[in-house]
Chains A and B, each alone.
Chain A
């Protein structure tokens, strides 16, 4: 399958290793990955902060870049939720019916990374090995917008050597919320403190999620508190220690 990677603006700038992991894994699974350098951002930061008018050109830019893409994979559930929940509204807000039609046509080809593996490729075991104690944080958008449910957990359970430790209040927000963490920094910090406590209580070495935004937030506190808990995007875990068993499984798809 020819997969077009939308890396997202913050992964591009801050978490290139996540993008490399996505590329590495998808290639290992026998897929062709393309990267369209014209890509920038999904527009979520502007939209969610209320800069609706300013978000529209960014939405349009995304559509321009990916109009003809076969499959678009995005290692960020919140960016995917921006597209699924708000792109049509953005088009409607400026009365652009043509843009709305294009979004309609494009959305079925947009996948969050873990969703792509399980729902589109039908894989739960990607042949990864990661001998660490890991806990999984269900980001808000993965849980309540994309309804990923246990998709990421199923993927993690099939990783060799990975000890998946359950976390309390798995679905409660870490307090990031984009510009919320800045506009309401105190409340956000209090929410983060609760989430960090839950992470530390698991005894995990690594906290993972399908969104680096939450992980950046969590790691900001884990690092400040000088804990030894690290964070890693799920793609980085799934790309680790790959064997070739999965390729035959992928070949069946």
Chain B
């Protein structure tokens, strides 16, 4: 039941990142936006004295739900159905697309309005509908920018974060035929309001995602800012909500946690302008027909991996993207997935049973900023390492992986580290062997093969002529000979009164002259 994702190519992260690093405009836009959003988040999170408890308790609610996901999904289905909703199940993208298309065709729909939903990006719904002659209109401002610009989302909360106002103005001017449109955000929002209002009033069928499904009420919760969500949820006759199976919470009451942590983490607001919850259909208020399409698409197998299961705790706030120093440099497109950033780096390969996105677990310096901000305490660095472990093990099962430079290098290093004598010999070999690489200034300015990436922008200090252990053996424990027994010590009384000023001596001096 591995995911299918029709829209993205499959370049590895370093390759895709290289292109984006060369795009100074995107980098500028991304850095500006993530700086703003991080500062806002820090302020409103700092206001809450119980942030730690909200994170912990929220994490536990999510973990508990996942542990009993079958139970809570069945409960949701029962309660949603009793409230007049209809629940459909889709194993993969193809099934979900087909279910939605069938529903639209039953109502002879030629057009459909949509709330931003990354789940629909995940299954490539828009393309599928267009191929069947149905026109989807994205109504979230950022998704509208993406749709009109024939672009891809780069952030799942703020999908057009990589575009600045001038670029948005150009897209709107061209696609909405608005010559002379201004580039103030107000002008652009007004243009979207005018363009979409007519669609909201006229089109009688809508597609949404969902932030939470509520098992005990059979309800759905949608969190948004603009009111486009409310338009799609309440004006049409028919509403179809496409939601990943992991997004259920046991009780309405649990929202009291997530409606605090999600807005503060996502947009740095105490509360986003609008949250909607409803159960099934309500006579005289909103759609007459309500469908939920529950999407698996690679999620259920993730539950089997106890280390990585926490990935599905995600409530899609995007805080980890905003905090990530890698994302700051590349933006979201480098991840070649709907789900970018640190959470994308662990979610995407798992959704594809580790058959795609295999470079993503390595797209992190493991700095830990993502874990620190995660409102449901997903230990992303830990999962990244766990997934790296899977990639390595799988690679080692292939001949090319086994004979690859990385594997050989790592096996060799492991061999050396297993025994201090081997390690000391390797140090001595390195001190001599490096000679061919060390420049006159005592630095290594060029490195071969896979190490070449380092020396593109960095020098490497040459190994000094004497390792610490050699110094110790010579200066501190000369009577014990090379290697010596495990317990060798000196006490303060007979130590040399070395009042060193190490930074005064240029490191290069200690390097061997070549």
Contacts and interface: CB of A to CB of B under 8 A. Distances in A.
Please tell me whether chains A and B touch each other in their complex, using a CB distance cut-off of 8 A. yes
Interface of A: 2, 7, 9, 11-21, 23-24, 26-41, 43, 45-55, 57-58, 61, 65, 85-86, 89, 130, 132, 140-141, 143-145, 171-173, 175-194, 206, 216-217, 219-221, 223-224, 230-232, 236-237, 239-242
B371 A57 contact: no
Nearest to A45: B413
* Closest 6 pairs (CB-CB, A-B): A185-B453, A177-B365, A50-B388, A220-B458, A34-B489, A173-B367
A38 B502 contact: no
B7 interface: no
Contacts of B454: 181-182, 185, 220
Contact of B364 (A14, A180, A189): A180
B455 to A, nearest CB: 8
B118 to A, nearest CB: 23
Contacts of B496: 24
B326 interface: yes
Contacts of A12: 427, 467-469
What is the interface residue range for chain B against chain A?
35 or more
B449 to A, nearest CB: 10
Contact of B468 (A20, A61, A179): A20
- The A contact surface, by secondary structure, is helix
B410 A49 contact: yes
Given A38-B420, A232-B502, A32 B492 contact: yes
Contacts of B414: 46, 51, 54-55, 57-58
Contact of A223 (B18, B418, B459, B470): B459
B503 interface: yes
Interface in B226-261: none
A184 B499 contact: no
A224 B487 contact: no
Interface string B479-497: 0000110111111100111
Contact of B418 (A34, A36, A40, A176): A40
A181 B453 contact: yes
Identify which of B18, B366, B458, B486 gathers the most chain A CB atoms within 10 Å of its CB: B458
A91 to B, nearest CB: 14
B492 A31 contact: yes
Contacts of A242: 497, 499
A80 to B, nearest CB: 14
Interface of B: 13-14, 17-18, 21, 325-326, 328-330, 361-369, 371-372, 382, 385, 387-393, 406, 410-411, 413-414, 416-420, 423-424, 427, 430, 443, 445, 450-454, 456-461, 463-464, 466-473, 476-477, 483-484, 486-492, 495-503, 505-507, 510
Find the residue from B21, B385, B393, B502 having the highest chain A CB count within 10 A. Answer: B502
B489 A184 contact: no
Given A27-B490, A219-B461, A236-B500, 12 more contacts: A14-B461, A24-B496, A28-B495, A34-B489, A37-B483, A40-B419, A46-B414, A187-B330, A220-B457, A230-B506, A232-B502, A232-B503
Contacts, number: 291
Contact of A177 (B329, B330, B367, B458): B367
B385 A217 contact: no
A252 B54 CA distance: 43
Nearest to A217: B458
B418 A24 contact: no
Contact of A16 (B445, B459, B464, B476): B464
Contacts of B497: 28, 242
Contacts of B489: 2, 32-35
A206 B507 CA distance: 13
Contact of A53 (B364, B393, B503): B393
18 contacts: A9-B423, A12-B467, A16-B470, A19-B472, A20-B502, A35-B489, A37-B472, A43-B417, A50-B388, A50-B391, A58-B417, A89-B382, A172-B367, A187-B363, A190-B21, A217-B458, A219-B459, A220-B460
Nearest to B393: A53
Contact of A239 (B467, B469, B500): B500
B503 A37 contact: no
Contact of A35 (B382, B392, B476): B476
Contacts of A216: 460-461
Nearest to A85: B382
A184 B362 contact: yes
A103 B495 CA distance: 32
Given A186-B14, A186-B453, A175 B365 contact: yes
A9 B424 CA distance: 10
Contacts of B418: 40, 57-58, 61
Nearest to A143: B368
Contacts of B419: 40
Contacts of B456: 185-186, 189
A141 B367 CA distance: 7
Contacts of A33: 489-492, 495
Contacts of A27: 490-492, 495
Given A232-B502, A242-B499, A176 B365 contact: yes
B490 A24 contact: no
B385 A48 contact: yes
